[in-house]
């Protein structure tokens, strides 16, 4: 039997230093899981040398698909652009800064095969400051109630191709991928994954950006559900 194709989508912003290692570890994780890889690296108009690194990786490995956005659209829109290029039977989204361990991808895929529409990596560990962790947990509880996703859901997630296509089809100017997955109505679950800590000073996604995007998502959950219901009956 042919090995299944898995698409891994990573939004890239100021990740010049981690991209080569990300590529190596993702490729090793998928090889160990007996799957073929499509790695979609989406440079969100990154101001560092990330675009050059992505281009070099793509030139050396045909499994790498570069997406170089002309202007900064934000993390979630960058992910949606990546989902639109996904060809895999399963689609995985993870951060490019190596906080999300690529070695956990096979665990998510194994759980996905049990019949779930999406499997989130429930984040564990001191990967952020106490203040950011506290506000994140409050928001995630609200999101869990509104969108029907696990309370520890984050952007490290594996989903079926069908779910990825439904999220990508929403054409939302201010998307929030976690909420949009919940609004598809697909069954979701989470498994615990310990997350590494990154330097918050280098993050392109500030607390204010995350809060603004999250509050917008809560306001739009009802409309996303309605749009998907109209589109798919």
- CB contact set of 213 (below 8 Å; sequence gap of 6+): 74, 75, 76, 174, 176
**pLDDT value of residue 218:** 66
**pLDDT value of residue 124:** 62
How would you write the chain as a 3-class SS string? CCCCEEEEEEEECCCCCCHHHHHHHHHHHHHHCCCEEEEEEEECCCCCCHHHHHHHHHHHCCCEEEEECCCCCCHHHHHHHHHCCCCCCEEEECCCCCCCCHHHHHHHHHHHCCCCCEEEEEEECCCCCHHHHHHHHHHHHHHHHHHCCCCCCCCCEEEEHHHHHHHHCCCCCCCCHHHHHHHCCCCEEEEEEECCCCCHHHCCCCHHHHHHHHHHHHHHHHHHHHHHHHHHC
pLDDT in tens, the chain (233 residues): 579 999 999 999 999 999 999 999 999 999 999 999 999 999 999 999 999 999 999 999 999 999 999 999 999 999 999 999 999 999 999 999 999 999 999 999 999 999 999 999 987 654 444 545 555 665 666 666 666 788 888 899 999 999 999 999 986 778 889 989 998 989 999 999 988 765 444 445 555 555 565 666 666 776 666 666 545 55
**pLDDT value of residue 200:** 45
Strands 5-12 and 36-43: parallel
**pLDDT value of residue 201:** 41
**pLDDT value of residue 148:** 75
- CB contact set of 13 (below 8 Å; sequence gap of 6+): 43, 44, 46, 50, 72, 75, 78, 96, 204, 205
User: What's domain 5-232's architecture?
Assistant: Alpha-Beta Complex (3.90)
Buried b (16+ CB within 10 A) or exposed e, 7-35: bbbbbbbbbbebbeebbebbbebbeebeb
């Amino acid at each position: 039997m042919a090995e299944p194709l898995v698409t891994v989508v990573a939004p890239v912003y100021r990740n010049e230093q981690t991209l080569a290692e990300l590529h190596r570890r993702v490729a090793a994780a998928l090889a160990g899981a007996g799957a073929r890889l499509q790695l979609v690296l989406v440079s969100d108009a990154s101001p560092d040398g990330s675009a050059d690194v992505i281009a070099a990786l793509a030139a050396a490995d045909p499994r790498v698909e570069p997406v170089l956005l002309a202007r900064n659209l934000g993390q979630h829109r960058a992910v949606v652009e990546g989902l639109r290029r996904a060809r895999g039977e399963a689609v995985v989204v993870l951060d490019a800064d190596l906080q999300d361990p690529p070695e956990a991808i096979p665990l998510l895929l194994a759980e996905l095969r049990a019949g779930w529409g999406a499997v989130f990596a429930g984040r564990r560990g001191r990967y952020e400051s106490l203040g950011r962790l506290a506000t994140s947990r409050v928001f995630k509880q609200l999101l869990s109630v509104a969108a029907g996703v696990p309370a520890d859901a984050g952007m490290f997630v594996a989903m079926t191709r069908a779910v990825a296509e439904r999220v990508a089809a929403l054409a939302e100017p201010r998307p929030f991928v976690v909420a949009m997955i919940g609004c598809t109505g697909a069954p979701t679950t989470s498994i615990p994954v310990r997350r590494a800590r990154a330097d918050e000073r280098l993050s392109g996604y500030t607390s204010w950006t995350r809060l603004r995007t999250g509050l917008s998502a809560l306001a739009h959950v009802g409309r996303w559900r309605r749009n998907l219901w109209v589109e798919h009956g």
